Chain A
């Protein structure tokens, strides 16, 4: 059974500081995603990482993937209040049989950026 673990689950950081969220997964995966969720809202796709060593950046967020270590990181640079949200990593794996792709999510990291 595929397991996805994120840490930390809660993160309070000051504006202007840097921090990293970690995502470990237990079996080989086809793709890894990072999503953002604001309170009471749906999921917004941030990044999709397809191969070992993949790095993607958008604004103050940078995501990377190490498939050998089964580890992805989401690095936050010079945090601002607008980044406060819950961040999920999700692993996409094709299941045999019907051939469906199923996203398995971590529990999420609730980020609060304090002025």
Chain B
């Protein structure tokens, strides 16, 4: 069975641009969470979705938004990119959001 998949794997953007990151959960999992991992730090929670509804949001500005589709895949959108948004963005899935979360390979975003 395929694990969590994310696309793209790498991305380079310039300040002020917009980016969309995509995630497909493990088959059967209905919850997706997004995390940001800045170099040298632990991941920080951004969003959790379950059954297409936002269940939780971390301490991130409104420039960050997400959604979950009927097939449980998810998109993370970031507007007006800043240099500080450069990070590894991790998606994690679980059955309902209340169990062990399994992480995808991540999308490495570089903002110049």
A102:B56 contact, CB within 8 angstroms: yes
Q: How many cross-chain pairs have Cβ atoms below 8 Å apart between A and B?
A: 60
Cβ-closest chain A residue relative to B97? A101
Task: Among A90, A98, A102, point to the contact of B42 (Cβ < 8 A).
Answer: A90
B104:A100 contact, CB within 8 angstroms: no
B100:A98 contact, CB within 8 angstroms: no
B101 within 8 A of A: yes
B103:A42 contact, CB within 8 angstroms: yes
B64 within 8 A of A: no
A48:B100 contact, CB within 8 angstroms: yes
B98:A105 contact, CB within 8 angstroms: no
B21-78 residues at the A interface, CB under 8 angstroms: 33, 35, 40-45, 48, 50, 54-56, 58
B42:A45 contact, CB within 8 angstroms: no
Q: Which 6 A-B pairs have the closest CB atoms?
A: A100-B56, A105-B42, A100-B55, A43-B103, A100-B48, A102-B45
Apart from A42-B90, A99-B56, A101-B56, what 7 extra A-B contacts exist at CB < 8 Å? A42-B103, A90-B43, A98-B55, A99-B55, A101-B48, A104-B45, A105-B43
Task: Among B42, B56, B100, point to the contact of A95 (Cβ < 8 A).
Answer: B56
Q: What is the number of residues of chain B that contact chain A, defined by CB distance less than 8 Å?
A: 25
CA A33 to CA B105, docked complex, whole Å: 18
Q: Give every chain B residue within 8 A of A98 (Cβ-Cβ).
A: 54-56
A88:B42 contact, CB within 8 angstroms: yes
Q: How far is the CB of A30 from chain B (nearest CB, A)?
A: 9
A62-114 residues at the B interface, CB under 8 angstroms: 88, 90, 94-95, 97-108
